[in-house]
A and B are shown apart, each in its own frame.
Chain A
Amino acid sequence: MPQFTDILFFGLAGLVLLFGLLTVANPFSRNPVTSAMFLVLTIVSLAGLYVLLHAFFLAAIQVLVYAGAVMVLFLFVIMLLDLKEEEHRRLKSGILAVGSLAVVAFVGILLTTLLKAKPTASAVAGRLVEGDTVKLGTLLFENWLLPFEILSVLLLVAMVGVILLTKKDLK
């Protein structure tokens, strides 16, 4: 008898896969805005999976930041770069074949690995990571303080780079 959470997991995981596929290979529409909207749905379904893992804070951030802020930027870019031509572009069959082969091969490796893996997956006895804000904050600012601080340098670099590459009249 499958538990309710199992049904939820498989339902949400199926939705993630379906929406993800529709984002990149929608047979009905080649409009980039439609793809972006399906990406929103993919992100929201992923947030549902985070909730199932008790990572409530991460789920909220996923919706707020990715489905909200980042997607608005995506739509901005799509509308700025008039992508009409994209709708009429045909993929070359050779490229499509090689790409599909790579995807099938990777999925094959992934599936065989997962089937071989024993249910008691963790080889090292593990602790359960809870996803509430206090625990997450402790992890981020104590265990992972150094990578966190390095990321601030990374963000500075990204900011300098964006200005350098896009500003109209650089002196």
Chain B
Amino acid sequence: MNYSLIIVEITAVLIGLGVLMTDLWISPAARKGLGYAAAVAVGCLLAFATGSLAPQHGLGFRDSFVVDDLARFFKAFFLFGAIVVILMTVEFSSRIASGLSEFFALVIFALVGMLFAASANDLVLLFVSLELITVTFYILTSFQRNRLASLEAGVKYLILGAVASAFMVFGIALIFGSANSTNFRVIAAHQTELATSPVFLLGLLLVLAGLGFKIAAFPFQAWAPDVYQGSPAPATAFLAVGSKAAGFVLLIRLLTQAVPQITAEWSRLLVVMSAATIIYGSLCAIPQRNLKRLMGYSSIANAGYLLLGIVAMSRSGSTAILFYLGGYFFTVLAAFTAMSALAEHIETDEIAGLAGLGRRSPFLAATLTLSLVSLAGIPPMVGFFGKVLLLRSVFESAPGRPDLYLLLGIAVIGVVISLYYYFGVIRSIYWGGSTPNLAPIRTSLGTKVALGTCIAGMVFLGIAPNGYLRIAETAIGGIDSAAGRLKSPALKKVSAHEAH
């Protein structure tokens, strides 16, 4: 066994354990410092993981663990996300009554689950890493245990998550029963025979249901609004960015690497799922009065847009997913960092409570506005370019598949609806009604740095998307989805060298 393949994951576990242990020796006042230290440690890990010393390509642990360009792209994504979430938690710490160090440690353990999910090439590893992510989030969502809303969010997420996991493990059992293997490569090699086995197809459907729950796609979206509203802002941000991306990397691996033929046959199902998710998320967001709940519905709608890239079933579709996730990353993190910085000064999460923010803190107001503008998909922000890429990839695949034109129409309608509810929030920030309190809101240096990075990311990727787009294309390059087979690692290495 080649243990050097999982060196990034092992280091992340050690950082998590280190945070847990260090907490025993430091005073409660020093816990914020521990957060900064943890962020620096994860930052070093990020530098290592993106550098040339980290494992570049390989397959290990009986082919269940794969390191390729896609895995490395998502590992960098998750590590970066964890750093921002930890910094956000430091800012949020006044709202966490106890166990701040444990919050940092749990964020890092969820990160470990995501790192493994990025490399999962086997249904068992997929299930175990998803469980690690989900169980950690059960705790993170209910972390403010003296707030009823937080506990309610935790319990709802726990029960619905347990049902989703049960379906998923049942599906994996059926797949194992018919394919006699849980490995994606073995399944890919036998998919023509397996496509005729009803037991295998049912198993795959149930696994899809489990992954649909992770990304909050219709009809498995019921948990998202309550959980987004109730959980602490850093936990929500990590849920929106990390957990969703983990679901999508597994969907890309399963649907475009392991069973592309069956995915092609099921395109109608995916089209319906994507359209229903967009419509549900957009329509339900309109009457919302709570900002975090609105973000919950917005995340459902965004899951629908991301599914467009899966529906397209092309390399450009998968690339568009990666690009969109990158843009979504900066946008959502900016919005939630701003919200958690506001949490100390504004008592409610209500949208009406934002009134007068434009005067109280022009910086936070501008950040929130920019991220909402990007979510709505208005140029020159990154959200616009991501949506264009997704729609274009569907359009390219549309000839010969008439239902895709309908899907495109629905997606455009969804974007138009989203303009309405995002601008409702912006209106309340700048032109909201009477404001009792006009005291200026100060933001700490850490928040300013985090927000500045996010804004820079949003604007830069929107104006000059080419560099990042090339990275996303390289990450997808290893997957030959048209032919439905995975290039061998050796071959991929050669092609990677040629590209350089």
Contacts and interface: CB of A to CB of B under 8 A. Distances in A.
Interface string A143-170: 1111100110110111011001100001
Contacts of B201: 113
Is chain A's binding surface mostly helix, strand, loop or mixed?
Answer: helix
Contact of A122 (B129, B154, B180, B198): B180
Contacts of B142: 165
A74 to B, nearest CB: 15
Contacts of B179: 122-124
B198 A116 contact: yes
A117 interface: yes
A24 to B, nearest CB: 14
Contact of A121 (B113, B143, B199): B199
Contact of A165 (B145, B198, B200): B145
B202 A146 contact: no
Nearest to B124: A147
A110 interface: yes
A114 interface: yes
Interface in B116-153: 116, 124-125, 127-129, 131-132, 135-136, 138-139, 142-143, 145
A171 B29 CA distance: 11
B207 to A, nearest CB: 15
Nearest to B174: A113
B142 to A, nearest CB: 6
B125 A147 contact: yes
B9 to A, nearest CB: 9
Contact of A113 (B64, B112, B124, B202): B202
Interface stretch (B188-196, B302-310, B327-335, B455-463): B188-196
Interface stretch (B33-41, B69-77, B96-104, B410-418): B96-104
Contacts of A145: 1, 61
A114 B200 CA distance: 11
A123 B197 contact: yes
A22 B199 CA distance: 28
Contacts of B28: 171
Contacts of B193: 123-124
Interface string A96-122: 000000000000011011101100011
A117 B199 contact: yes
Contacts of B54: none
Contacts of A157: 106, 109, 132, 135-136, 139
A126 interface: yes
A55 B113 CA distance: 30
B177 interface: yes
A146 B64 contact: yes
Contacts of B61: 145-146
Q: Indicate the size class of the contact surface on chain B.
A: 35 or more
Interface in B244-301: none
Contacts of B199: 113-114, 117, 121
A96 to B, nearest CB: 17
B190 A124 contact: yes
Interface string A121-147: 111111100000000000000111111
Contacts of A109: 202
B349 to A, nearest CB: 22
A154 B135 contact: yes
Nearest to A152: B13
Contacts of B56: none
Contact of B129 (A150, A160, A171): A150
B368 interface: no
Nearest to A146: B61
Nearest to A148: B128
Nearest to A116: B198
Given A121-B178, A121-B199, A122-B180, A147 B97 contact: no
Nearest to A145: B61
Contacts of B136: 157, 161
Contacts of A142: 62
A76 to B, nearest CB: 19
Contacts of A124: 178-181, 186, 190, 193-194
Contacts of B105: 160
B218 interface: no
Nearest to B13: A153
B109 A117 contact: no
B222 to A, nearest CB: 13
B6 interface: yes
Contacts of A146: 6, 61, 64-65, 125
Contacts of A147: 64, 124-125, 127-128
Given A145-B1, A153-B109, A154-B131, A160 B20 contact: yes
B197 A170 contact: no
B400 to A, nearest CB: 29
Contacts of B128: 147, 150-151, 154
15 contacts: A113-B198, A117-B198, A121-B178, A122-B177, A124-B179, A125-B180, A126-B180, A146-B125, A147-B128, A150-B116, A156-B109, A160-B106, A164-B102, A165-B145, A170-B98
Interface of B: 1, 6, 13, 20, 28, 61-62, 64-65, 97-99, 102, 105-106, 109, 112-113, 116, 124-125, 127-129, 131-132, 135-136, 138-139, 142-143, 145, 154, 177-181, 186, 190, 193-194, 196-202
Closest 7 CB pairs of A and B: A161-B139, A170-B98, A126-B180, A147-B128, A123-B193, A116-B198, A146-B61
Given A123-B179, A164-B145, 14 more contacts: A113-B199, A121-B177, A123-B193, A124-B179, A124-B190, A142-B62, A146-B125, A150-B132, A157-B132, A157-B135, A160-B20, A161-B135, A165-B154, A170-B98
